[in-house]
């Protein structure tokens, strides 16, 4: 039975410490006995036999550029430069009359080029630093080398952005300088901040949001890539060890992290695992895979880990899920509003009774919403027989869409239904009263309407409040009724008295009442839309009310309507 997986950081750290201790003990046994180190006295005696006063080793001869005559001890420093694997040079200070260091001259250099297009230091011997590196002043390198010379404090990883014009164009690189004082002179080395392979590795780590770590279990040395340092926001060269990571892992994910490490200690290559870490309070989800480095004795003496930061992907999925939930909630709300509006439509835009036909007229009506799934908006009509033998015919448009517009439409339509039963009232009075009701409601918006009465003598007496004029189809010709008596929109001017006009109708005549959504188009004059509707109505000559309505709906339903519209066709029988 395998031991229980640790479920808290402290227990997990105890497991890691125990595994590392056992590994080091086993490695120590397999390494065998080693000779005891030499004592300090033995070391001193050995060095006295091998070294001369200049520091040269007696058993190994060497030549120096300035070795003729009296032996120059600094020639030994020059002789070591070729053994340095990066660009290296020995710099001697150049002073002015006051003894102030103003520049350095290159006394010696090796043959290593830091980048392919730069000259090797040994080709720059005898030249001044300002001459071969024109940017030393602006970069601060010259002042830093002076400080090394005068304080003795070494310079480490000093960055210099260097640009040089070559025959094939401008070149730019970033160099890192190290320097140390050496008896009145300065030994300095420089190298590229990153070689092309390192740059590609960094770019790949950045693009893939990933990084790697190497944990040497025997020496305790830990190495992280810059990509992993960026994920955990640690300073370069300051990696976190396995025990540090145990403190960073989320408590819920400690068992998962523990199973991964236990498998690696056992020499296995476990599958990747998603583990969450707290990075300065920010929870990051990493996909971690690992591989142990196995020695010939079968021991896992080091661990390789590769981690990819999945946090942006996971957060993107969470945002998408939240958006989907919000969309679904809005869809459900829209569906509920649609059901309510549909119910209101059935209640507020009813079919027509046979009483209208007995009074000598046929009526057909339709509602075209601007959105295919909308049930009703602010457009409305009313056509019903009154007790006095007249027929109330009205159409209107309350501003807006949705349930608010439905509520205003219902208010105006029901108000008209009640007012229409006032004995002796004409269309002008009904329009005037309806305007007063709309003006008195502070929350109401403006509206348009046509209100009329159809009498038994086939006459239409009608009033208009800012609404498009009805169209009359007579003997194959469609014309708009005269609107010289038209008044302002409802809700605009309280106290306004609306006038009426009357129109005689003959058997076979058709009246088309509509709201402006049928003829309004963005960027087009409404008169153009009305003319187009009038021409199309003329093409419907010979049809009855229903046929004419169906033809108009077929013509306009395929258009991209920009507003809801309501249509009523009245036929004089």
pLDDT tens digit sequence for 45-63:
444 433 333 333 333 333 3
Supply the range of the domain harboring residue 139.
84-193
Same domain flag for 258 and 364: no
Tell me the mean pLDDT in the region 108-121: 90
Can you state the angle between helices 9-31 and 254-265, rounded to 10 degrees?
10
Residue 356 has pLDDT above 50, yes or no: yes
Would you say the pTM of this structure is higher than 0.85?
Answer: no
Does the residue 56 lie in any domain? no
Same domain flag for 281 and 373: no
> 473 with 512: CB under 8 angstroms?
yes
Q: Write the pLDDT tens digit of every residue in 241-279.
A: 999 999 999 999 999 999 999 999 999 999 989 999 999
- Rounded to 5 degrees, φ, ψ at 498 are -95, 135
> 218 with 301: CB under 8 angstroms?
yes
pLDDT band at residue 69, thresholds of 50, 70 and 90? very low
Which CATH number characterizes residue 160's domain? 3.30.450.20
Query: CA–CA separation, 332 vs 365, rounded Å?
Result: 30
The residue to which tokens 């519209």 are assigned = 565
pLDDT band at residue 442, thresholds of 50, 70 and 90? confident
Counting beta carbons within 10 angstroms of the beta carbon of residue 302, is it exposed (0 to 12), middle (13 to 18) or buried (19 or more)?
Answer: buried
- pLDDT at site 42: 46
Least confident among 251-265, 330-344, 451-465: 330-344
Least confident among 131-135, 229-233, 323-327: 131-135
Least confident among 116-120, 137-141, 212-216: 137-141
Tell me the mean pLDDT in the region 79-89: 90
Does the residue 405 lie in any domain? yes
The domain tally of the chain equals: 3
CA-to-CA dists, residue 562 to 149, 371, 512, angstroms:
81, 9, 20
Residue 31 has pLDDT above 80, yes or no: no
- DSSP for 2-16, please give it: PPPPP-SHHHHHHHH
Does the residue 46 lie in any domain? no
Write down which residue in 131, 164, 193 finishes a domain.
193
Same domain flag for 187 and 133: yes
Angle made by CA atoms 169, 175, 176, in degrees to the nearest 5: 175
Mean pLDDT of the chain: 84
- pLDDT at site 330: 87
């Amino acid at each position: 039975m395998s031991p229980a997986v640790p479920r808290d950081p402290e227990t997990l750290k105890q497991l890691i410490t125990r595994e590392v201790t056992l590994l080091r003990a086993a490695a120590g046994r397999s390494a065998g006995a080693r000779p005891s180190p030499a004592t300090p006295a033995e070391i001193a005696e050995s060095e006295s036999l091998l070294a001369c006063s200049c520091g040269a080793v007696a058993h190994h001869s060497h030549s120096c550029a300035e070795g003729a005559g009296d032996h120059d001890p600094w020639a030994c420093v020059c002789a070591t430069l070729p053994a340095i694997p990066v660009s290296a040079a020995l710099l001697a200070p150049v002073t002015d009359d006051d003894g102030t260091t103003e520049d350095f001259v290159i006394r010696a250099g090796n043959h290593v080029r830091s980048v392919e297009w730069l000259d090797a230091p040994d080709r720059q011997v005898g030249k001044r630093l300002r001459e071969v590196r024109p940017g030393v002043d602006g970069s601060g390198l010259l002042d830093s080398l002076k400080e090394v010379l005068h304080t003795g404090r070494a310079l480490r990883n000093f960055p210099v952005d260097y640009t040089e014009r070559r025959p094939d164009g401008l070149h730019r690189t970033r160099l890192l300088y190290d320097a140390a004082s050496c008896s009145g002179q300065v030994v300095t080395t420089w190298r590229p901040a990153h070689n092309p392979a390192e740059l590609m590795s960094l770019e790949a780590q950045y693009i893939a949001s990933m990084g790697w770590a190497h944990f040497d279990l025997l020496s305790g040395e830990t190495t992280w890539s810059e990509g992993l340092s960026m994920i955990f926001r640690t300073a370069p060269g300051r990696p976190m060890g396995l025990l540090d990571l145990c403190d960073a892992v989320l408590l819920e994910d400690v068992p998962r992290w523990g199973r991964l490490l236990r498998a690696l200690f056992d020499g296995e290559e476990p599958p990747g695992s998603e583990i969450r870490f707290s990075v300065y309070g920010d929870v990051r989800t990493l996909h971690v895979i690992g591989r142990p480095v196995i020695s010939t004795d079968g021991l896992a003496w080091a661990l390789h880990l590769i981690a990819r930061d999945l946090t942006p992907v996971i957060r993107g999925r969470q945002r998408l899920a939240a958006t989907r939930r919000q969309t679904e909630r809005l869809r459900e709300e829209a569906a509920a509003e649609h059901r309510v509006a549909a119910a209101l439509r059935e209640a507020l835009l009813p079919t027509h009774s046979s009483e209208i036909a007995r009074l000598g007229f046929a009526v057909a009506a339709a509602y075209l919403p601007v959105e295919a799934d909308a049930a009703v908006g602010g457009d409305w009509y009313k056509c019903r027989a009154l007790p006095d033998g007249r027929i109330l015919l009205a159409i209107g448009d309350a501003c807006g869409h949705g349930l608010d517009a439905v509520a205003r439409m219902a208010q105006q339509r029901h108000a008209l239904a009640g007012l229409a039963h006032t004995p002796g009232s004409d269309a002008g009075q009904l329009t005037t009263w309806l305007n007063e009701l709309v003006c008195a409601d502070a929350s109401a918006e403006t509206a348009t309407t046509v209100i009329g009465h159809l009498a038994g003598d086939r006459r239409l007496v009608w009033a208009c409040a800012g609404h498009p004029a009805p169209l009359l189809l007579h003997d194959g010709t469609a014309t708009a009724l005269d609107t010289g008596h038209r008044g302002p929109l409802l809700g605009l001017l309280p106290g306004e008295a609306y006038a009426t006009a009357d129109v005689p109708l003959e058997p076979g005549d058709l009246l088309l009442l509509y709201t402006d959504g049928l003829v309004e188009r963005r960027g087009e004059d409404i008169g153009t839309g009305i003319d187009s509707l009038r021409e199309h109505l003329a093409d419907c000559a010979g049809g009855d009310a229903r046929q004419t309505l169906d033809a108009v709906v077929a013509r306009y339903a395929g258009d991209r309507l920009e507003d809801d519209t309501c249509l009523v066709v009245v036929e004089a029988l």
